Amino acid sequence: MSMSEKTVVWFRRDLRIDDNPALATAAKEGAVLPLFIWCPADYEQYYPGRCSRWWLKQSLTHLGKSLESLGCPLVLIHAKNSTLAALLECIHSTGATRVVYNCLYDPISLVHDNKIKNELSALGISVQSFNGDLLYKPWEVYDENGQAFTTFNMYWEKCMDLPIEISQSLAPVRLVPVPGIENIRGCSIDDLGLESSKDEESSNALLSRAWSPGWRNAENMLGEFVSYGLLEYSKHGMKVGGTTTSLLSPYLHFGELSVMKIYQLVKMHQVKWQNEGKSEAEESVRLFLRSIGFREYSRYLCFNFPFTHERSLLGNLKHYPWRSDEDSFKSWRQGMTGYPLVDAGMRELWATGWIHNRIRVIVSSFAVKFLQIPWIWGMKYFWDVLLDADLESDILGWQYISGSLPDGHELSRLDNPEVQGQKYDPDGEYIRTWIPELARMPTKWIHCPWDAPSSILEVAGVELGFNYPKPIVELHMARECLDDAISTMWQLDTAAKLAELDGEIVEDNMNNIRSFDIPKVVLKKELSPSTSSINLRMPYTSGQKKKLQPMEVKVPYKQIIRDDVMNASNMEDTGSIANSQMSRKRSSSDSASNGPLCSSSLIMHSQIHDRDSSLVLYSDYLQQKAGRNGAGKVEDNDSEDSGASISRPSKRAA
């Protein structure tokens, strides 16, 4: 490669200087044009929420200053309609001949990037992509049959057996800007429109008091956690109050930290502690690396099963009778369910854009199991409000909790919020922080105010049904409704399978009727000389070639959220609480999980020989969908809290 190369470095969610393979490669080979394009049209229904946009703005500002100090400005472009058009304009203005970028692995970005890469290549522009986001590329990890894993434990065990090439890209010490950079019609950070003046003056001011976005701040956070928090991570990681996790999740999402750098630093400390005889460090390191593994697995799952952002991985759940109850959904979002721990979590989420990963598990489980709200509604709401909103992690988390994954929660599992509260917030301080109505409730009754004597409620100033809601659903009713829903799902699933058999019922077929339908994707297959590589790129079902037809879930989500955001006065009462709470809060979705395994029946094969051919699946999938339309992250390792055995009604206030 000539040292006179002119390269566009296309930044997205890799907002860092250190260990950035795309930037490092471009810097070594000539002049560079660091470029960030904000094109709202690209996001469609996954337009980032307020907190996420605030973080992006701060991170871009930080990155821009760093690039300026290296001799090259960051060019910002607000593209109204097309990222591709903005890229081409920059290329023509500077005479650049190459575009480099770091890969993203969510279903939306994969299709989008592949389209842009093909368009640029067709115009004779060199395009090169790098892995700057993962330890293990999603097409390189497969089981003994060459198939993609569908359970985390087996996936992560295989990863731990694979070698990792510890090679970080050194940060450039100087950058040479491309000639003609002044001809580009860029814009200021404010012109991107990432936050409104109202947000900047009110809600976002709280975020700036608690968080410090930017890649250098991310490195400081990592060093602080590894030095002072990692050693006791296994001991304190489940406490829902205070700073007990790594708090690195938003930095990872925006690519301000390299996962390779995190892995290398943690392993170095692990060796150091082993030499010092600190045996307690082993479990903490294992759990933390496992949380990194969940992030890897979320990308792996989305890459190999690109439909998972809109339907369950397990095929049986397409028959699950979710309840599209807008009133229950609103009560859940506003923290008005009558279950204190759930309500505290949802109110903190609204006020701060962050909740501990254990609370994420509890509130999402309540939504899909107690209220039977479609998990996609919950996932989309998390995307809208979380500071560290991450599509792949949210998909994994919500599918896991709803029982949509082979190793997720059992469909019949019903966790008791009262028991969860007594375990994770035994003193009730977390609840008192976020539910001022219950601030004077004695600890004995803080998790079950409905059981408190009337005299206690009166002294505490609590009037159930007036200043704090009664439980939105009784435990025993939730149990009955969940059992009925599961029964209905299996009945519909069985009927559908029998219809497919067309009367040809044999014993082997009957054995598979009540098993979970787990898709199988072939990542590696020995090819015979006569096998066409083109055939490998087309999915087929049951031996018959057939294009993927993912089920589209249509729900009135946007309208529901729009109405709710416009009327959230009851959430503003927590503002003063958020001031004190956020001053000591940051974020992490560190996680650990042990889920049940399920039986499987082969319902789909997708043969993928390499990364480029796999992207054909995404292109086909997007085209099919367009034709129809007309256009923490989960951790959960304590099954003892399962409420699956709940059968008796709990005492409730009349």
Residues annotated within the binding site for FAD are 233, 245-249, 288, 388-390
Token pair 């009754």 is at which residue? 445
Backbone angles phi, psi at 96, to 5 degrees: -65, 145
Instruction: Give the residue among 572, 588, 583 at the shortest CA–CA distance from 351.
Output: 572
Q: Give the rounded distance of the alpha carbon of 183 from its chain centre.
A: 38
Gap between the Cα atoms of 261 and 287, Å rounded: 17
Gap between the Cα atoms of 111 and 279, Å rounded: 46
Backbone angles phi, psi at 394, to 5 degrees: -65, -40
Q: Give 460-502 as a DSSP string.
A: HT--BTTTBPPPSS-HHHHHHHHHHHHHHHHHHHHHHHHHHHT
- How far is the CA of 265 from the CAs of 223, 261, 592, 605, in angstroms? 9, 6, 20, 39
CB 154 within 8 A of CB 600: no
Residue 607, SS3 per DSSP: strand
- How far is the CA of 294 from the CAs of 8, 333, 391, 522, 635, in angstroms? 32, 26, 13, 21, 9
Instruction: Give the residue among 502, 357, 348 at the shortest CA–CA distance from 429.
Output: 348
Gap between the Cα atoms of 338 and 470, Å rounded: 5
Token representation of residue 538: 């087309």
Gap between the Cα atoms of 574 and 125, Å rounded: 53
How many other C-beta atoms are found inside a 10 Å radius of the C-beta of residue 611? 17
CB 193 within 8 A of CB 178: no
CB 127 within 8 A of CB 268: no
Q: Give 152-164 as a DSSP string.
A: HHHHHHHHHHS--
Binding-site residues from annotation? 233, 245-249, 288, 388-390
Q: Give 364-430 as a DSSP string.
A: HHIIIIIS---HHHHHHHHHHH-TT--HHHHHHHHHHHHT-STTS--TT----HHHHHHHHSTT-HH
Gap between the Cα atoms of 340 and 481, Å rounded: 22
Quote the Cα angle for 263-267-269, to 5°. Answer: 120
Token representation of residue 12: 């997205």
Instruction: Return left, alpha or beta for 600; rule: phi > 0 is left, psi -120 to 50 is alpha, else beta.
Output: beta
User: What is the length of the chain?
Assistant: 654
Helices 391-402/375-385 angle, 10° precision: 150
Gap between the Cα atoms of 633 and 398, Å rounded: 9
